[in-house]
């Protein structure tokens, strides 16, 4: 039976590569697990990966640093807007102090009956640290954040929409969303288990202009859901296409996972991802060595020297 096991990863278009590393590794204390390049197009752009201790599906944030290419995005409605990360419920005071010490503006909020901290990536993308209980995913402590405070992984995604009805229908019928809750201008649903990063929060936004869907600094490009197996992924794609959502891609091999992309009726680009059965993150590096070398897919290996000359140097 077709299903989704929560989230897989979220991918953003950000600014300078070093600024992005400093934010995710230095400020948030996440584990740097992969440095490679964007597969699509001919312009060399880094693809950087950050995660929790184990690199769990549902715990990976990936980024395309687009400052070097000079391509800007526009945040708006009908677009994924908020990266929601899960932290231990009792750690928010620690995080408020840590962020403030690092000159990150942070605000305290209660949303859907749960405390969270609101902040922004240096490029402007909105983040929230959501306090949760009972999350078994292990945070990374190598970045200086104690285990009792470290980020578990993804909590979910906030999608801004002019009207939420079509997205509620789409996620409920084709992504198995359940447990609908409404609070003010926010409609929340859950895809998969609560500790797998599957929260979807639809924020009614009729004020902003539509945001950009292409690559561009300062925006979320896509949010990936864990389809677990290639057979399940194919069944999901078949059902979504059969319902008339034909803005959906063919299977793409991203080396570490295999992907199908679909434009949701709320504007957010969703990905149905399956970790590559031949190794995932460890197909080219051991678990202890993750992120230590510049990895390239075979089709770009002949351009290694050229790409290294063109891409900005980064210090992890």
Assess whether pLDDT exceeds 90 at residue 39: no
What's the CATH number where 262 sits? 3.10.180.10
Residue 2, domain member (yes or no) = no
Q: Supply the pLDDT for residue 209.
A: 97
CA distance 157 to 197: 8
| C-alpha torsion angle, residues 224, 226, 232, 238 (rounded to 10) | -20
Residue 197, domain member (yes or no) = yes
State pLDDT tens for residues 268-285. Answer: 999 999 998 877 999 999
Strands (E) in the chain, as ranges, are 7-14, 31-37, 46-51, 60-65, 79-88, 107-111, 114-120, 126-132, 153-161, 178-183, 186-190, 199-204, 219-226, 252-253, 257-263, 269-275
Structure tokens at 171: 């996620």
Q: Supply the pLDDT for residue 250.
A: 96
Q: 244 CB contacts (<8 Å, ≥6 apart)?
A: none
Residue 201, domain member (yes or no) = yes
Q: Supply the pLDDT for residue 65.
A: 97
Residue 196, domain member (yes or no) = yes
Residue 1, domain member (yes or no) = no
State pLDDT tens for residues 234-247. Answer: 999 999 999 999 99
Assess whether pLDDT exceeds 80 at residue 254: yes
State pLDDT tens for residues 41-94. Answer: 778 899 999 999 999 999 999 999 999 899 999 999 999 999 999 999 999 999
Q: What rounded mean pLDDT belongs to the chain?
A: 95
The DSSP line for 1-22 is: -----SEEEEEEEES-HHHHHI
CA distance 77 to 90: 32
Number of domains in the chain: 1
64: left (phi over 0), alpha (psi -120 to 50) or beta: beta
First to last CA, the chain: 42
Residue 315, domain member (yes or no) = no
What is the domain range of residue 168?
7-310
Strand ranges of the sheet holding 257-263, from the earlier edge strand across to the other edge: 31-37, 46-51, 60-65, 7-14, 219-226, 269-275, 257-263, 252-253
Structure tokens at 45: 């752009």
With residues binned 3-state (H G I as helix, E B as strand, rest as coil), the percentages for the chain, rounded to 5, are 20, 35, 40
State pLDDT tens for residues 128-167. Answer: 999 999 999 999 999 999 999 999 999 999 999 999 999 9
Q: Supply the pLDDT for residue 298.
A: 83
Residue 119, domain member (yes or no) = yes
- DSSP β-ladder status, 114-120 and 126-132: antiparallel
Residue 316, domain member (yes or no) = no
């Amino acid at each position: 039976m077709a299903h989704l096991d929560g989230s897989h990863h979220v991918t953003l278009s950000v600014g300078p590569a070093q600024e992005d590393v400093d934010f995710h590794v230095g400020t948030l204390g996440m584990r740097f697990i992969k440095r490679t390049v964007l597969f699509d197009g001919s312009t060399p752009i880094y693809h950087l990966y950050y995660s929790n201790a184990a690199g769990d599906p549902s715990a990976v944030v990936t980024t395309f640093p687009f400052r070097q290419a000079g391509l800007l995005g526009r945040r708006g409605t009908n677009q994924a807007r908020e990266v929601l990360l899960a932290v231990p419920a009792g750690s928010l005071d620690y995080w408020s102090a840590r962020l403030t010490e690092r000159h990150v503006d942070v605000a305290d909020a209660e949303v859907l009956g749960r405390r969270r901290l609101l902040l922004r990536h240096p490029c402007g993308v909105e983040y929230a640290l959501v306090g949760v209980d009972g999350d078994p995913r292990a945070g990374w402590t190598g970045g200086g954040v104690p285990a009792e405070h470290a980020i578990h992984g993804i909590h979910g995604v906030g999608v801004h929409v002019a009207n939420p009805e079509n997205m509620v229908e789409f996620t409920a019928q084709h992504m198995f969303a359940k447990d609908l809750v409404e609070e003010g201008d926010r409609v929340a649903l859950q895809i998969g288990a609560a500790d797998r990063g599957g929260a979807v929060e639809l924020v009614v936004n009729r004020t902003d202009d539509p945001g950009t869907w292409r690559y561009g600094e300062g925006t979320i490009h896509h949010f990936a859901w864990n389809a677990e197996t290639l057979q399940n992924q194919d069944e999901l794609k078949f059902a979504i296409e059969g319902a008339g959502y034909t803005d959906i891609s063919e299977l793409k091999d991203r080396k570490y996972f295999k992907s199908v992309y679909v434009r949701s009726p709320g504007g957010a680009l969703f990905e149905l991802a399956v970790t590559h059965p031949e190794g995932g993150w460890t197909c080219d590096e051991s678990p202890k060595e993750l992120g230590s070398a510049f990895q390239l897919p075979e089709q770009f290996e002949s351009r290694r020297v050229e790409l290294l000359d063109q891409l900005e140097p980064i210090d992890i």
